[in-house]
Amino acid sequence: MLRRFFLLVLTVSGSLAFQGSAPEEETAWVCPMHPDYTMDVAGQCPRCGMNLVHAAPFDVRDYQVDFRTIPAAVKPGQKTALFFRFRHPASGDVVKDFELVHEKRFHLFVISQDMDFFEHIHPEEQPDGTWTIEVTLPKAGYYKVLCDFYPKGGSAQFLALPLVTAGYSGDLEGDMAHLVPDTKLTKTVEDITATVKYDPETFVVGLYGHLNFLLTDTATGRPITDLQTYLGAFGHTLIMSEDMEDYVHSHPLDILAMPDDEGGPPQFIIPPGADLEKIRGGPEVTFEGLMPKPGRYRAWTQFRRNNKIHTFAYTFNVVAPPK
């Protein structure tokens, strides 16, 4: 089972159904982005402004997944249709109601075993509860298909499915990723040049770390101030451990100021209810993450500018805390 902690730190699980003791049946109002924040009444999360949803955050069961592809033998370089249906772990009924989280009801990530290929896409739901989308995988090999969704009345789900293409004859263990930390911290993708600084300089297990991005226009070198929102924020980051077992999902820090001693609402970079298509941001964007174990990690950070998604990949080390 994937465990969700603050900032959505998860451990990727390949199981498709829950086995074990009966889950907690207690319900609460919970933030979809910060599942450790719960209330007994409706409201908004003080950390991100999202509306709380009525759910069962203490139910740790994985939902069951029906997964198939057309064609059944996935060929690299050719379009493949992916189909998903999710079933309740107790009743087996097909789930058709999902919470809207970051403007989508289903976030799908496809990552190659060597971690060179990354795709973040959003399938479409059909009337019978099936979700579908087309992908084109670049080469033969093993891929992880990661399903991120929040069933209404349930708990947040992040489920990993294997996908092996036709024509793959390699060794799964031998073909695992061997990441090398980046020494060049400035990268360019089309009209965005991004420079990242780590705070602290080396991440430590169990301590929050920050990825601080400074974005400039590639042609002029000037700070970017026309950054568009993407999925309800000024960016999106997915961080995966080298062994593809642990995952951190982070959106930019959105708090400008917390209430003072006299009370009052928090102040957000993106005010609740703002027109997300009109608001603009930049040049600085900060993400926060909590790494669960030492090792090497890759972060895929996405920004939207001029109606295009730009993806930056950075690899870094995480060390064990000092004894």
- The pLDDT value given to residue 175: 86
Could you tell me the residue ranges of all domains in the chain?
A: 9-164, 186-319
| H/E element, 255 | strand 255-257
- The pLDDT value given to residue 323: 85
- Residue 7 reports pLDDT greater than 50: no
pLDDT tens per residue, range 145-197: 999 998 988 888 989 999 999 999 988 888 899 999 999 999 999 999 999 99
CATH of domain 186-319: 2.60.40.1930
Fold of 9-164: Immunoglobulin-like (2.60.40)
Q: What percent of the chain has pLDDT over 70?
A: 83
The DSSP symbol for 230 reads: B
**Model confidence band, residue 20 (pLDDT cutoffs 50, 70, 90):** very low
Mean of pLDDT values over 222-238:
95
**Model confidence band, residue 41 (pLDDT cutoffs 50, 70, 90):** confident
- Residue 238 reports pLDDT greater than 80: yes
Residue 23, token pair as written in the block: 């889950």
**CB atoms < 10 A from the CB of 171, how many?**
8
49 contacts: CB under 8 Å, gap ≥ 6: 254, 266, 268, 270, 271, 272
- The pLDDT value given to residue 18: 31
- Residue 218 reports pLDDT greater than 60: yes
128 contacts: CB under 8 Å, gap ≥ 6: 85, 94
- Residue 143 reports pLDDT greater than 70: yes
pLDDT tens per residue, range 109-129: 999 999 999 999 999 999 999
- Residue 38 reports pLDDT greater than 80: no
**Model confidence band, residue 58 (pLDDT cutoffs 50, 70, 90):** low
**Model confidence band, residue 12 (pLDDT cutoffs 50, 70, 90):** very low
- Residue 202 reports pLDDT greater than 90: yes
108 contacts: CB under 8 Å, gap ≥ 6: 82, 120, 121, 122, 123, 133, 145, 146, 147, 148
Q: Do the domains 9-164 and 186-319 sit in the same CATH topology, yes or no? A: yes
pLDDT tens per residue, range 250-273: 888 766 655 555 566 667 788 777
